[in-house]
Structure 1
Amino acid sequence: MPHRHDPLEPAAAATMEELVALLRRLHARAGKPSLRDLEAWAIRQQRAGRRDVLLKRTTISEVLSGKRAPGRNFVGWFAEACGVPDGDAVRAWLRAWEVAAERPAPAGREDGEALRRIRELTEENARLRRKLWRLQTRRHTRRLSSP
């Protein structure tokens, strides 16, 4: 629930980064519900007939940490899950997403994120190759030593 002394104004977000910062503040204002609680809220919505509602812990974490830009639906659902009343208030968050989505990302940011992801995948690939090599070596050694 927004405080009077420092209202959350989704219309103030001109960029995706500013929108994500507001989503973080909204989450804090809601008492920082756990990712599990937010995901459970979405599941309850689905069971109540809103089959399109989807909030996954991983997605929430990645959005709030700035690793992933939120989608339009995510913004609306997240706002609702954090106590924003359905209707005009949620629509204001959706309009904020539309404005932010029209603005291009800062130059180089996407490249930096892509390079970071490539590094992560390269490290993971190397780790898995080492593990595979160890497993194959053990298997080969067992064959040689068996009678």
Structure 2
Amino acid sequence: MEPAELLLAMRDLRVAAGQPSLRDLVNRAAVPGGGGSYLPRTTIGDVLNGKRACTDAVLLHFVKACGVTHESEIHQWMNAWKRAYQSEGVTSRYSTAC
């Protein structure tokens, strides 16, 4: 899997989740106790627009914010991230982008 394929899958997941706004995604990933969000608006906006590589933490909070709750599905998403970003050369290319 390439990073572009993961990005397309993320966009499809967002559509399947009812196309929540970036603000809704941020709110769904809020840190308990009002300490901000695990999914900053600028970060997720840049990822979804292809301006920034997706980190594993951003992907985890994004899929949860889109309503993915089953551990097996979350595991599949994280495996997709590993295939997209841990292949040789990809991680180093994007290490400063996030």
Same fold, TM-score > 0.5, yes or no: yes
1:70 matches 2:54: yes
Relative contact order, CA 8 A, sep 6+: which one is greater? Answer: 2
Residues 2-59 of structure 1: per-residue CA shift (max 9 Å, x gap): xxxxxxxxxxxx011110110011011111101111111111xx217xx8x6101101
Confirm or deny: 8 A CA contact 1:15 1:101 kept in the other structure: yes
The answer for the alignment partner of 1:4 in structure 2 is none
Q: Which consecutive residues of structure 2, in runs of 5 or more, have no partner in the other structure?
A: none
Q: Which amino acid letter does the alignment assign opposite residue 74 of structure 1?
A: V
1:42 matches 2:29: yes
Larger Rg computed on CA atoms: 1
Residues 65-117 of structure 1: per-residue CA shift (max 9 Å, x gap): 00001000111110111011141111110111011112334xxx97xxx9xxx
The answer for the alignment partner of 1:139 in structure 2 is none
The answer for the alignment partner of 1:31 in structure 2 is 18
Alignment of 1:1-147 (within 5 A): 14-43=1-30, 46-47=31-32, 54-103=38-87, 104-105=89-90
TM-score normalised by the chain length of structure 1: 0.56
Cα distance in 2 for partners of 1:86, 1:59 equals 25
Cα distance in 1 for partners of 2:25, 2:86 equals 27
TM-score normalised by the chain length of structure 2: 0.81
Cα distance in 2 for partners of 1:76, 1:86 equals 12
Paired residue total: 90
Question: Which of the two has greater helix per residue?
Answer: 1
Q: Which consecutive residues of structure 1, in runs of 5 or more, have no partner in the other structure?
A: 1-13, 115-147
Percent of aligned pairs with the same amino acid: 39
